[in-house]
Structure 1
Amino acid sequence: MLLSRWLPGLANLLHYRREWFHADLQAGLSVAAIQIPIAIAYAQIVGLPPQYGLYACILPMMVYALVGSSRQLMVGPDAATCAMVAGAIAPLALGDPSRLAQLSVIVTILVGLMLIGAGLARAGFIASFFSRPILIGYLNGIGLSLLAGQLGKVLGFQIEGNGFILSLINLLQRLEEIHWVTLSIGLIGLALLIWLPRRFPRLPAALVTVVLATLVVGVFGLDRFGVAILGPVPAGMPELAWPKTNLEEMKSLLRDALGIATVSFCSAMLTARSFAARHGYAINANHEFLALGVTNIAAGISQGFAVSGADSRTAVNDMVGGKSQLVGIIAALVIAMILLFFTAPMAWIPQAALGAVLLMAGWGLIDVKSLGKIYKLSRFEFWLCVLTTVGVLGVGVLPGIIIAVTLAILRLLYSIYQPTDAVLGWVPGVEGQVDIEGHKDARTVKGLVVYRFDDAILFFNADYFKMRLLEAVQRELEPRAVLFDAEAVSSIDVSGIAALREVRETLEARGIHFGIARARGRFLRMLVRSGIAREMENGMLFGSVRSGIRAYRLWRNRMRREAMTE
């Protein structure tokens, strides 16, 4: 139990099934084939030599495989976090490469500590604001971004635009620059990636494609004809060393580390939850904070830089059919072996083949079918999904998600501000109470208004609750009592208590009795704390609507008998 709580990845590996190994081996090799060039490229964003990108993969991938709870998530360098790391350390390094490497280690460890702190503070509730439409919209946006970002590699030129729209415009403007040999390699690579899984499902299609393309480029020397290749990568493992800093640098890096930690968690959590939903299991957000924090500390002590959930590599893992966290360990070991012994052949990997693999991964992220289902169920959530996609493409991953989540929260607040309510009645043959507005043949008890409010009563809807209840009473010809069905009221605050007291006093001033049925949870506790429960101890708090109606009928009959005796 303790092991599954703190090391869920290790706990899963201890119950590993032998039949998973073939799929995990294929996925691990495929992920490594994609992780290597991406890590090298992202190291250049930070301003570090290419080998530092590989350092940021090996130990972090192994650590997350043991500590993380996602069976699909691959960790590694991420474009957004790399750009933020570069912005944090470049002004402080002043062009000194060794200082740049030291500062990247410091900020990465700070990010890890902040993430661990957030996990211990149980801040994982943040992930609950990422609804399924937002997750689908996010993946669609990431998929389209991958498509736009990798087309340049397949076409034979580097896209210069920043962002999806500018990249697409730049791509369309430069179509005459297509390098046909590179395009041929890319198209053949795409054809292999489509055909191989259908014809030979057990072969690692991504790895086979990259290896074949590398052999063709190397044997025929296609780099002499303008085909872009990866180029030389220095060999060797990192030398562990603790960097030095001062108080002023720490103040600056702490501020930047907070932003990097936020982006890192949001990116990783969205990817992890999206793929977990596809495979039918849940992700513990609080634990993911801890796992990602430990992973970043591992990246820091191994001379790497801040890492996050790697959406493209996770997509490749899922596409190939990885079954467990062993995929990350295999990929890390492959990267370590290549970094030690096989950096020379890596130089011949054609960028077009890597672009083709990422194009297929991006295409696999786009979920049009779910968009159609969401449209049928809820137009608002459909447009929320589309807006998330547009936001990710237009203003970036984090701003786009923040916009979508903000709109979702505003919609939630609006629904709470004016929740549904009902005056209840009964229809013969129908169990329980019904809304008399939707059932014209519903019966009511003469003189009694049974009113239901379908949400919490809080400061921003307390007046609305008061207004709606009094309006319901006004519609009754000769109201003598009101029974408030509070089953749906999960909570109430001070303003709500004040409104409830005002309702009761207003009704009593008009000679109308007020009772509450089915009070429970926080609502009932607040009634007790406020003294309303004590004030209503004369039988006006009821365990059910039926008992409240029974009490009203007994009281009404007693009043009739007393009137007749007089």
Structure 2
Amino acid sequence: MVATLSKYIPGLKIFHSYQREWWQADLMAGVSVAAVALPVGIAYAQLAGLPPVVGIYSSIFPAVAYAFFGSSKQLVVNPDSAACMMVASTIAPLAAGDALRNLDLAILLTFMTGVLCLVGGIAKLGVIANFLSRPILTGYLNGIAFSIMASQLGTLLGFKIPRSGFFLTVWQGISRMGETHFASLILGLSLFALIRLMKRFTPKLPAALFATIAGILAVTVFALPGRGVATVGQIPAGLPVPRIPAFAASELVPLFSGACGIVLVSFCSMMTTARAFAIKNGYPIKVNQDMFALGISDLAAAVGSGFAVSGADSRTAVADASGGKSQVTSIVAAVMMALVLLFLARPLSYVPAAALAAILISSALGLFDIASLRRYYSFSKPEFWFSIIAMLGVMTIGVLPGVLVAVALAIIKLLQRASHPHDAVLLPVSGLEGVYTSSPDEEHDSLPGVLIYRFDASLLFFNADYFKDRVQLALSESGSKPDWFIFNTEAVPLIDITGCEALEEVRRDLENQGIVMVVARAKGMFLANLKKSGLWDSIGKTRFFYSVHAAVLAYQLEHPQTS
């Protein structure tokens, strides 16, 4: 029974075979994760424009859901900066500043995201984890980092700045420097310095928790609310009651569009984290199962009045560094946060907003990846610029539009490359029978009467005309007219109808010139489609060979005077 259920709920297998000696490590790791997740959850709720307690709700139920349904032993599913920014950018224009509408729309958006992930997991669409290339994901996260820091500028300075793009927000902050509330600024900078120093000298301690406690003490001891320092305010004690969100039919389309974007970005980001820790700890990841698990986690967040979540890299790193052995770490962390909500909600109301700004800005610094940008620049200039475009797009036109622009440009570049693939004319290597090369640097023999041509891509509608042009160019540059044109198809896995028609045009053109077309190394779908299209018969089955060398030998047998 457990074996059957564990196919759909992998966590059951872990719990069924759980080893007692793991408990102490999982307990300590869970406490450490909770210590980080609690203040970070409150901060991310603020980032999403939602009440602070919603961030705690979103840290509890999704973590438990993923522990049962996910395939990673270390991954902690919690509020994440990228998902939070996308939630905020989707619901803010619709809610128009109404806090209750914000919450309703966030719940509905999270529900839609969960359903899409569930459907994707069942339909085995986990392959979308590869849709965002590393350069685009790097640029996206760099843009998110800049956007987060800009969004917290007003909180740090002690006045409100309306949500807008990075550059406009920074300009508003600079132009209103005269309104700075110095008590808030000094407190925020002090807590930010505390976090950075702890990350530098005591990286194993939960710096965000210490900064939160220090902020609460400062607010209490120095009576800072009376001096104009903002706090998060009252946090309701107890666990959430499920809420049915109110919405208008006109809001469904923008919410659905936002949900699609969140699925793409949050799942890609989650799988990057999950795979990294799976490789480190030596076990496999099941992408389709994890997409399904993310859907369950988002639905759990929606039922618990939370918002969309993802794989939280910082909390996952804490779980791993603290020695967590299994998904029990996430469950312990969730239980600890639930206990805080039940019995320690009142002290959380004294958390200063400046402390949350310090936590968010520090987290944003951790998203920057300048080293990868340098690597992209030296390796591939186009991919470097895709990364920069994604970053600038997120900073200016918004999170989802910025990513979509970069993805669209990457797809256009990919199609451009696919429509003009590499090809080569091959010649035999001197002294190595049966070995052929396209490199001008290698010593090679001449091969009179034969032209060997290789096309290094599937022959499809978008490169069929290019293929015909390249064949004609190869013939014109060959010097003398060959008797046989040997088409080496080892790098052509597929051909479509347009490709078949192009190949037939080439065959007829060669025939009109008195040149025989020969096909070498045809296999798989390429060969199957040649037979379906009739090219197998028009070329002639005796003109198909298992290797280029076999085709050359066949030519030499037929033309002994040339060999």
Specify the TM-score bucket, using the shorter chain as the normaliser: 0.7 to 0.9
Q: How does 1:344-359 map to 2 (within 5 A)?
A: 344-359=346-361
What corresponds to 1:414 in structure 2? Answer: 416
Q: Please say if 1:29 is aligned against 2:35.
A: yes
What corresponds to 1:224 in structure 2? Answer: 226
What corresponds to 1:428 in structure 2? Answer: 430
Aligned residue type for 1:269: F
TM-score of the superposed pair, with normalisation by structure 2: 0.86
Distance in 1 (CA, whole Å) between partners of 2:200 and 2:228 is: 32
What corresponds to 2:139 in structure 1? Answer: 137
CA contact (8 A) 1:58 1:336 kept: yes
Deviations 1:128-161 (A, max 9, x none): 2211111111121122222222333333333334
Distance in 2 (CA, whole Å) between partners of 1:51 and 1:560 is: 85
- 1:515 is paired with a residue whose SS is strand
CA contact (8 A) 1:56 1:306 kept: yes
Aligned residue type for 1:516: V
Distance in 2 (CA, whole Å) between partners of 1:157 and 1:26 is: 33
Change (3 A) 1:316 1:106: closer
Shift of 1:377: 0.8
- 1:392 is paired with a residue whose SS is helix
Q: How does 1:249-328 map to 2 (within 5 A)?
A: 252=250, 254-276=252-274, 278-279=276-277, 281=279, 284-302=286-304, 304-309=305-310, 314-315=313-314, 317-318=316-317, 321=321, 325-326=327-328, 328=330
State the number of aligned residues: 544
CA contact (8 A) 1:40 1:54 kept: no
RMSD: 3.3
CA contact (8 A) 1:264 1:309 kept: no
- 1:457 is paired with a residue whose SS is coil
**5+ long unaligned stretches in structure 1:** 562-566
Q: Please say if 1:523 is aligned against 2:538.
A: no
Q: Please say if 1:78 is aligned against 2:84.
A: yes
Q: How does 1:366-405 map to 2 (within 5 A)?
A: 366-405=368-407
Change (3 A) 1:198 1:244: closer
Alignment counterpart, residue 497 of structure 2, candidates 494, 503, 509: 494
What corresponds to 2:211 in structure 1? Answer: 209
Aligned residue type for 2:28: H
Alignment counterpart, residue 150 of structure 1, candidates 134, 152, 177: 152
CA contact (8 A) 2:41 2:58 kept: no
- 1:539 is paired with a residue whose SS is helix
CA contact (8 A) 2:52 2:232 kept: no
Q: Please say if 1:119 is aligned against 2:121.
A: yes
CA contact (8 A) 1:68 1:291 kept: yes
- 1:451 is paired with a residue whose SS is strand
Change (3 A) 1:285 1:202: closer
Deviations 1:253-279 (A, max 9, x none): 653552242122123123213434654
What corresponds to 1:547 in structure 2? Answer: 550
Distance in 2 (CA, whole Å) between partners of 1:42 and 1:189 is: 22
Change (3 A) 1:254 1:161: closer
- 2:453 is paired with a residue whose SS is strand
Distance in 2 (CA, whole Å) between partners of 1:396 and 1:10 is: 40
Alignment counterpart, residue 61 of structure 1, candidates 58, 63, 86: 63
Shift of 1:389: 1.0
Alignment counterpart, residue 174 of structure 1, candidates 173, 176, 192: 176
- 1:482 is paired with a residue whose SS is strand
Shift of 1:232: 1.2
- 2:518 is paired with a residue whose SS is strand
- 1:78 is paired with a residue whose SS is helix
What corresponds to 1:464 in structure 2? Answer: 466
Change (3 A) 1:15 1:424: farther
Shift of 1:280: 5.9
Distance in 2 (CA, whole Å) between partners of 1:325 and 1:150 is: 33
Change (3 A) 1:20 1:330: closer
Aligned residue type for 1:159: I
Shift of 1:409: 0.9
Aligned residue type for 1:517: A
Change (3 A) 1:214 1:504: same
Distance in 1 (CA, whole Å) between partners of 2:277 and 2:175 is: 41
CA contact (8 A) 1:426 1:434 kept: yes
Distance in 2 (CA, whole Å) between partners of 1:366 and 1:61 is: 26
Distance in 2 (CA, whole Å) between partners of 1:84 and 1:522 is: 43
TM-score of the superposed pair, with normalisation by structure 1: 0.86
Aligned residue type for 1:529: K
Once the two structures are overlaid, the 10-residue window that deviates more, 281-290 or 348-357, is: 281-290
Shift of 1:497: 0.4
Aligned residue type for 1:80: M
CA contact (8 A) 1:236 1:339 kept: yes
Distance in 1 (CA, whole Å) between partners of 2:288 and 2:165 is: 31
Distance in 1 (CA, whole Å) between partners of 2:180 and 2:52 is: 27
Once the two structures are overlaid, the 10-residue window that deviates more, 182-191 or 455-464, is: 182-191
CA contact (8 A) 1:451 1:482 kept: yes
Change (3 A) 1:52 1:386: closer
**5+ long unaligned stretches in structure 2:** none
Distance in 1 (CA, whole Å) between partners of 2:264 and 2:541 is: 53
Alignment counterpart, residue 514 of structure 1, candidates 513, 517, 523: 517
What corresponds to 1:38 in structure 2? Answer: 44
- 2:135 is paired with a residue whose SS is helix
Distance in 2 (CA, whole Å) between partners of 1:100 and 1:189 is: 29
Aligned residue type for 2:317: D
Once the two structures are overlaid, the 10-residue window that deviates more, 284-293 or 205-214, is: 284-293
Deviations 1:313-348 (A, max 9, x none): 644553784656555434433332232222211111
Deviations 1:509-539 (A, max 9, x none): 2221111111112111111211222344442
